[in-house]
């Protein structure tokens, strides 16, 4: 019987397994859905007086180190998740179990090829992978019944290792479309261009970006560090409840890493959570985890505190207990 991976401070409920169902393949995956044609517009080089909008997805200035108090609700529950590569049918995930509660930061580490990135992509419905068993429940809903766009609108965000470029689409247009799609999903009115600019411009300081960044096409000509900042900027604007961050530290110098980590910490609240994939303990010096999970051969084989990551960095994966 597979062990259910949850930190000792959490006691996951044992709800019945929901039957899994394949989502329709979607050949294009963005961090947010594309719903209608975009019209490019420019934004001023100087910020206007900050506008106040009535927004439900603001991020209070709490750090990730003090996010408790009340009893936490179960946010994501993964049970016995198995998946294969769609084309070759090669098994990658072989029974992943994980529970994430509100306000938690979970870290997944493991050797190359252990299934970390595949796990993240399966959670958001990447068409390269086919689910063959198990269940994924997010806020009580069966994620495996949802198309990728529906998962995004439900509040699941993923930052990719290598974000794609979208020529001809500015950052502000892309995010205006995505943000309004999420507001519509939440039953809230869409924001007009001026109102949205007042909202989005306040998020730039969070990732240490200048206002002209909004006029640049999405990731086009961006450096590696700019792409990672842009991913976290998107997360700040969209306000997702579960952020899946796939190696946001790769390719970053120490200053860029501090900026990105500071932004992630600034977005953490008692209601949202982060699932981070990384190879290195250095990221955990800036973003303190609730739990660290070690993945091996498509399964989570060890779960504990930050000390696991320190041990792995010092001794390598040979220090893992025999399974």
Residue ranges with strand state E in 182-236 = 217-218
Pairwise CA distance, residues 80 & 66, whole Å: 31
Specify whether the CB–CB gap between 224 and 197 falls below 8 A: no
d(CA 311, CA 299): 19
CB-based contacts of 57-61 (< 8 A; 24+ apart in sequence): 57/182, 57/186, 57/238, 57/239, 58/239, 59/236, 59/239, 59/266, 59/267, 59/269, 60/269, 61/266
Q: State pLDDT tens for residues 253-297.
A: 888 888 889 889 988 999 999 999 998 888 999 999 999 999 999
pTM above 0.85, yes or no: no
Domain ranges of the chain: 74-319
Q: Find out whether 158 and 232 touch, Cβ atoms under 8 Å.
A: no
Q: Which of 230, 237, 231 is nearest to 199 (CA)?
A: 237
| Structure token digits, residue 151 | 């998962």
Does residue 87 have a pLDDT over 60?
Answer: yes
Question: Which pLDDT score, from 0 to 100, does residue 7 have?
Answer: 56
Give the pLDDT band (50/70/90) at residue 212: confident
| pLDDT tens-place string over residues 149-205 | 999 999 999 987 778 888 899 989 999 999 999 899 888 999 988 899 889 888 888
Specify the fold of 74-319.
Answer: Rossmann fold (3.40.50)
Q: What is the pLDDT of residues 237-248, one digit of tens each?
A: 988 999 999 988
pLDDT, position 17: 39
pLDDT interval class at 319 (50, 70, 90):
low
- Note the pLDDT of residue 1: 44
The least confident of 92-101, 157-166, 297-306 is 157-166
What's the confidence (pLDDT) of residue 322? 57
Beta-bridge mates of residue 222: none
């Amino acid at each position: 019987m597979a062990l259910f991976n949850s930190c000792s401070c959490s006691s996951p409920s044992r709800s019945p397994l929901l039957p899994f169902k394949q989502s329709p393949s979607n050949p294009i995956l963005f961090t947010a859905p594309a719903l209608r044609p975009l019209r490019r517009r420019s934004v001023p080089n100087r910020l206007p007086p900050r506008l106040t909008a009535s927004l439900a997805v603001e991020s209070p200035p709490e750090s990730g180190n003090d996010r408790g108090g009340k009893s936490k609700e179960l946010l994501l529950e993964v049970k016995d998740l198995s998946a294969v590569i769609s084309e070759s049918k090669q098994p990658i995930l072989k029974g992943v179990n994980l529970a994430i509660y509100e306000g938690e930061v979970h870290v997944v580490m493991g050797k190359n090829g252990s299934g970390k990135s595949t796990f993240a992509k399966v959670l958001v419905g990447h068409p390269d992978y086919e689910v063959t068993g198990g269940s994924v429940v997010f806020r009580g809903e069966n994620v495996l019944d949802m198309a990728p766009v529906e998962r995004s609108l439900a509040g699941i965000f993923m930052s990719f290792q290598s974000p794609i470029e979208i020529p001809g689409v500015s950052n502000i247009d892309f995010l205006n479309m995505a943000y309004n799609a999420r507001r519509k999903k939440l039953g809230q009115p869409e924001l007009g261009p001026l109102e949205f600019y007042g909202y989005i411009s306040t998020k730039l300081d969070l990732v240490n970006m200048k206002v002209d960044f909004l006029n640049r096409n999405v990731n086009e000509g961006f450096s590696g560090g700019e792409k990672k900042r842009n991913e976290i900027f998107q997360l700040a604007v969209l306000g997702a409840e579960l952020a899946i961050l796939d190696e946001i530290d790769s390719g970053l110098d120490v200053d860029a890493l501090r900026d990105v980590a500071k932004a992630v910490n600034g977005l953490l609240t008692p209601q949202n959570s982060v699932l981070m994939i990384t190879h290195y303990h250095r990221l955990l010096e800036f973003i303190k985890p609730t739990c660290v999970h070690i993945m091996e051969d498509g399964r989570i084989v060890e779960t504990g505190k930050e000390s696991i990551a320190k041990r792995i960095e010092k001794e390598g994966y040979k220090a893992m207990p025999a399974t």
